[in-house]
Structures are given as structure tokens and as C-alpha cells.
Amino acid sequence: MNDSSAIATENSEIVLELRGVSKSYPLYASRTDMILDRLGAPRFLLREIPDFYALSDVNLTVRKGERIGVVGKNGAGKSTMLKLITGNFRPTTGQVEVRGTVQALMQAGLGYNNAASGYDNIRSSLSFNGLEGSEFEAAVDDVSEFVELGEFLHQPISTYSQGMLARLQFATATAIKPDIMIVDEVMGAGDAYFSAKCARRMYDLTRFGCSLLLVSHSPQQIIQYCDRAVWLHDGRIHYQDTARKVVAAYEVYMERLSQAAMTGARVSDISADDDVLTPLDDGKKVYRWPGRPGLQVSGFSVTSEQNVVTEVRPGAQLQVELLLDVQEAGRYGCIYYVGFWTSEGHRICRAESPIDFFDAEAPLLRKVRVDLSPFPLGEGEYLMSLSIYDRLNYSTTTAGTLCRFDTLMRCYELKVVDDRQVRAQSYPLANWKFAEAV
């Protein structure tokens, strides 16, 4: 999906700019204080009223055709920022400059008449946004075809499921072809088929100049739809970079919060400022998810014919070797995973090892090698993840950090180049070997 024609450059036209934007709300101690303050009573007649800053000194520039994801915990300021952009709120300080039309999908069904049919709501929404004549009729036909609701289009939308309503709202908003499209979690109600249609539609919009702001708690959606991402934390922009880097850093932070919650640690001690990139003994820097103590990956290599590679052909001989640092003595029963993800955030395959039982004294180095030969993936760009899970004490990976020793998420880039005429073949995925390091 990441076509170079859809990615904005430094010379692209700026369509949205936030300069030093802050938004605060008074925290009233009582309803009486709120009423008196709203009536303009002098502050010396009231108890001290503290202010809560939902946003603090936010600076953001969006260029024509950019696709920007916004991530952050609940309460980080994401929705406040979007409402400032749409004009629902005014900033307390700073400036919000929007150059062009804005369409916002911030709540399923917002602004729709539940008693009217889907078809009537389509026509009403398109008319409200200024479409008329042949352009209006073409847009009605486009939305009707996109939603694929058949006879349900003539039923009241009060009878619609959340997914049906999401289809209707998304199709209507994108048929107008705005300069800036804002989507806040609405697509979460759709199925995989609908998600694929949304991806293509948004790609087409941005290819012709529409800018996208997508708020989502789904890392996959941010990576799939966006070129760049912004991490909001406590009302400030904590980090902004490529979508892949921001999502990786945010995932580590959220996994640390999850571990703290499950182990009873103080969540307040987990800071977004903590370094989320971990150096391995072999010099690589990775996004490491937290796990239980005792065993960690200290290094790894990806080789083909004994050469370290970042690019291979389909069917190549490929080996992945992990060097494990056993930090606590005891009896172990480990399962290792090597997973591959597309550059758009979809996991497409995973090699799972048999259980590796061993007794260890600490410290100890142990080698784990998996032979992925012939390599089963076709032409494309992939990201590799590595994980170790404890199978002596837990029977499922759904227990998260409680049964996970280590995870290096999307830690290696591998490109498969097919410059030959290769027939599709069925390959065995993996052959595992375990050994203590010499």
C-alpha cells in the first residue's frame, strides 16, 4: 500500500498546522463553583480552580497526501486534538490552521437519522456536504455500491449492526473526497473484507491529494494505512516518526504497562520516557517486549549459505540462529517462535518449535537454530519477530507476559526478490535444532 506517489514530501502543500496548541478545562470542586464561574463570578469569590490540560503545546504539520496515525492511551488527548481540528473546540492557546475541507468519522452513526433508511441518510449527508446535480447522483451510486448492503439500504438504520453502520458512514464520508479525512476508531467495527475495501479507498483518496489522520488502538491498522505516526502521551507529542517505528515503541510501552498490571507493580513507575530500544550483545538494537525472568535472547543471526543476508530469493536456504542467555538455574521447557509479518503489519506465517526441555546452571549460553529451507515466502518485504515461551508452567500464550520469557517484535527486515520465473511450490516450513553453546 505504501506507494511513493501517495507519500507527501517536504515540498508538498501544508493542509493542516497546529502551532503551540493547548487545551485546558477547569476542574471544579462542586457544581456550585461551576455555575458561579460560568456566570462570571470573580475568582476571589470562589475556591481555587485548578486547570486540567488535555493538550499541552502541541505542534503538528500535515502535508497534502500524508497518512498519519495517532496512538496513545485513553486520556492521552487524541480525541481532543481531533475535535480542535474539526472546529468542535477552540484551543485555549495556540493556533489551529486548516486549509481545505475536513470529513470526520469519530463516532458510528453520529449525525444520522435512525428512523430514516440507509439510502435516505446517504442522500441527506451528501446534500448537506454541498454535492448536487450529476456529482450528487454519481456519489449516491458510488456509496450504494461500496456498502454492499442490498435491500438493507431501504431499511431504517436503527436495524443496522455496528459493522453495517460503519460501512455506510465510511462510504458516505469518503465519497465526498475531502482534503483531510479524520477517522477515529470507526473502522474497528468492520470485518476483514470491509477493512481491505477501506484500505484501497483511502489509498486512492491519498493518492489524489487527500490527507489522512487515523486514530486507532490497532497497531496493524496504523502500519497498514499510515506512512507516519504520532504518539500522544499526557497531552503532548511524545514521539513522531515512521508509522513502523512509532508503533514498535508504543507497543513496548503498552506491554510494560500490561506486565505491571498483571504482576502488581506500580503502573505509575512505568514512563513513556523509558528507553524502548534494547541493545543485544551482538550490537543489534531491538524492540523487546517484557517477559518473565530467567531466559533472554542475547543475539541472533539470519544467514543463507553461511552468509548474513537481508535479501533472498524464493526457495532460498535460510537459517535463523538464536543465542540464548540463561540467567537463572533450573529446569526449562521452552517453545520458540519465528514469525514473519508483511510491511503492512499482517502476520502471514509462524514457525513453532517442539518443546525444548533442558536443565541449566546459570550463567549458560544456549543455541537454537531453525532451518527455514526452502524459504516458503514469495516476493515482498517482511519483518521477522522472535519469541520464547515457557511451557512448563503455562499451556497457552494468551497468558501474555506471565508465560513469555522474551519477544523481539519485528526485529529484522528481510526482502524476498523474485527475478526468475519460479513455479509455486509447497515447502516444509522449519527444521529445529537445540544445543548448548561451546
Q: Please say whether the dihedral angle defined by the alpha carbons of residues 168, 171, 172 and 174, taken in this order, is positive or negative.
A: positive
Stretch 228-256: mean pLDDT, rounded?
Answer: 94
How confident is the model at residue 37, as a pLDDT?
72
* Residue 296 neighbours by CB distance under 10 Å: 19
Q: Is the pLDDT of residue 4 over 60?
A: no
For residue 183, which of 157, 228, 217 has the smallest C-alpha distance?
Answer: 217
CB 336 within 8 A of CB 368: yes
3-state SS class at 50: coil
Q: Domains in the chain, ordered, with CATH?
A: 4-101+178-248 (3.40.50.300), 275-436 (2.70.50.60)
Task: Decide the pairing of beta strands 404-416 and 311-312.
Answer: parallel
* Residue 5 neighbours by CB distance under 10 Å: 8
pLDDT band, very low/low/confident/very high, at 299 (cuts 50, 70, 90): very high
Using alpha carbons only, give the angle 279, 68, 259 rounded to the nearest 5 degrees. 40
3-state SS class at 152: helix
* Residue 172 neighbours by CB distance under 10 Å: 26
For residue 2, which of 52, 67, 73 has the smallest C-alpha distance?
Answer: 67
Using alpha carbons only, give the angle 226, 231, 233 rounded to the nearest 5 degrees. 160
How confident is the model at residue 189, as a pLDDT?
52
pLDDT band, very low/low/confident/very high, at 409 (cuts 50, 70, 90): very high
List, for residues 123-147, the tens digit of each pLDDT value: 988 888 788 888 899 999 999 998 8
Distance CA 181, CA 175 (A): 11
Amino acid letter, residue 145? E
The mean of the pLDDT values for the chain is: 86
pLDDT band, very low/low/confident/very high, at 45 (cuts 50, 70, 90): low
Give the C-alpha distances (Å, rounded to integers) separating 280 from 283, 287, 319, 353, 406. 5, 10, 19, 23, 12
Question: What nine digits make up the cell of 4?
Answer: 511513493
CB 283 within 8 A of CB 301: no
Q: Is the pLDDT of residue 1 over 50?
A: no
CB 62 within 8 A of CB 17: yes
Stretch 345-371: mean pLDDT, rounded?
Answer: 92
3-state SS class at 396: coil
Matching residue, cell 517482511: 382
Matching residue, cell 455496528: 162
pTM above 0.75, yes or no: yes
List, for residues 203-232, the tens digit of each pLDDT value: 888 888 899 999 988 888 899 889 999 999
